[in-house]
Amino acid sequence: MRAFACPGCGQLVPFEAETCLACGTPLGFAPDTGEIVASAGRVPCANAVLAGCNWLLAPGEDAGGLCLSCRLTRTHPHDADLTAGSLTGEAFRAAEAAKRRLVFQLLELGLPVVPYDGEQGLAFDLLSSAVEPVVTGHADGVVTIDLAEGDDAHREQMRRELGEPYRTMLGHLRHESGHYFWTVLVGPDPEALESFRALFDDERADYAEALRRHYDGGPPAEWVSRYVSAYATAHPWEDWAEAFAHYLHIRDTLQTAASFGMLVTGPGLDPELMAAPHLEPDDRFEDILDDWVPLTYALNAVNRSMGRDDLYPFVLRPAVVAKLGFVHRLVGSLTRSRPLPVP
């Protein structure tokens, strides 16, 4: 994500900022400009309190209405269950905060973000398994998320039980939105579909049976040579969703590093010959990897210095790089990879 600054004093502020801590200017995010702006004269999203939303409506939008991100939420627990301090309420606000980051990135990449109209578009059902059974997944444009994933203890327990190196709410949202974007980027395009099957295998394989087999027997031996995660082995659709989510991880982290001017050097590397990651996207995914790999080494080293697990616990084999490159080309072909705004 890009770095943001207070328009009043120039102090760095986070994406979630509502007030500048340096000068006290009330702030909010304006999706129509893609910037943090002074909120004076702007109408706040109607979910400012319920969802902790700091987004502002565009000029001309109905006062009392919802911002683009909040309009994507089709279903959520009853307002009475979302009170401040309640576990469900905090989990809901954490999910909405992660969704705003997802929507921001999709808009930055130029991908279509259209609220579901009953037949097409994207929607999110944010439900709590503390109230009713919930199965996280995607169906016909509707992403269902279990708000229990917003609880750190529950999520860590599930991560350990499933043997996952990485599990976050933002990761869930990116993965499930990847299923939706398969229907946008791959399914309607015969040429893309043919290339998809060559890389990911045939998605017409029985999905329910594939999941049953995966959960009963686990991933195949040596899965790391072809897949970015163990779960990606379950079915070609899951392989795509994991690759799509991973692509978003990489692009978002590189944009953050570039915005803050992070430069990775090391023994034997001449700083004068090095450069910070590029703000603008590259035509070749391999060029993105040239920025990504040194950054992951540095981030993992920092985590280890703090006694933590690796921030980036993945190995990108050539077959995985090819899949990520396929995602990159499809995103670029749809959006023409418009340059990311420079702060």
Are residues 209 and 315 both part of a single domain?
A: yes
Boundary of a domain, candidates 181, 212, 242: 181
Residues 6+ apart with CB under 8 A from 235: 203, 205, 207, 210, 211, 214
- Compare 25 and 149 and report the one with higher pLDDT: 25
Share of the chain above pLDDT 70, in %: 87
Residue 264 lies in a domain: yes
76 lies in the same domain as 57: no
CA gap 17, 55 in Å, rounded: 10
Asked whether residue 159 is assigned to any structural domain, the reply reads: yes
List, for residues 294-323, the tens digit of each pLDDT value: 999 999 999 999 999 999 999 899 999 999
Tokens of 65: 């209405």
pLDDT tens across 197-237, in order? 999 999 999 999 999 999 999 999 999 999 999 999 999 99
Q: Examine the fold and report which residue of 181, 213, 243 is the final residue of a domain before the chain moves on.
A: 181
**Would residue 298 count as lying in a domain?**
yes
Whether 18 and 99 map to the same domain: the answer is no
Residues 53 and 123 in one domain: no
**Other beta carbons less than 10 A from residue 305's beta carbon:** 8
Question: Does a structural domain hold residue 192?
Answer: no
- 265, 242 Cβ separation under 8 angstroms: no
Could you tell me the two tokens for 98? 């992660």
Same domain (yes/no): 53, 80 = no
Averaged pLDDT of the chain: 89
Residues 77 and 42 in one domain: no
Amino acid residing at 310: D
Residues 43 and 81 in one domain: no
Domain containing residue 144: 72-181
| Residue 82 DSSP class | G
Does 156 share its domain with 204? no
Distance (Å, whole) CA 295 – CA 320: 18
Using the structure block, give the residue that is written with the tokens 């939706």: 180
Residues 177 and 205 in one domain: no
Judged against a pLDDT cut of 80, whether residue 80 lies above it is answered with yes
Q: Are strands 142-146 and 137-139 parallel, antiparallel or unpaired?
A: antiparallel
Q: Identify whether the C-beta of residue 277 lies closer than 8 Å to the C-beta of residue 291.
A: yes
Measure CA 35 to chain center: 19
Report pLDDT for 149. 75
264 and 207, same domain (yes or no)? yes
Joined tokens for residue 199: 């890389």
Q: DSSP for 70-131, please give it.
A: HHTEEE---GGGG-TT-HHHHHHHHHHHHHHHHHHHHHHHT----B--SSSSBEEEEE-TTT
- The total of structural domains in the chain comes to 3
| pLDDT score at 338 | 45
Contact 280, 339 (CB under 8 A): yes
The pLDDT of residue 187: 95
Co-location of 92 and 213 in the same domain: no
Is 193 among the domain residues?
no
Map tokens 């986070």 to a residue: 14
Segment 98-109 mean pLDDT: 96
Domain assignment present for 195: no
What is the pLDDT, as a whole number, of residue 270? 57
More confident residue, 241 or 335: 241
- Is pLDDT larger for residue 240 or for residue 221? 240
Is 103 a member of any domain? yes
Decide if 190 is inside a domain: no
Predicted confidence band of residue 150 (pLDDT cuts 50, 70, 90): low
Domain boundary among 136, 154, 181: 181
Mean pLDDT of 96-114: 95
- Is the same domain home to 167 and 286? no
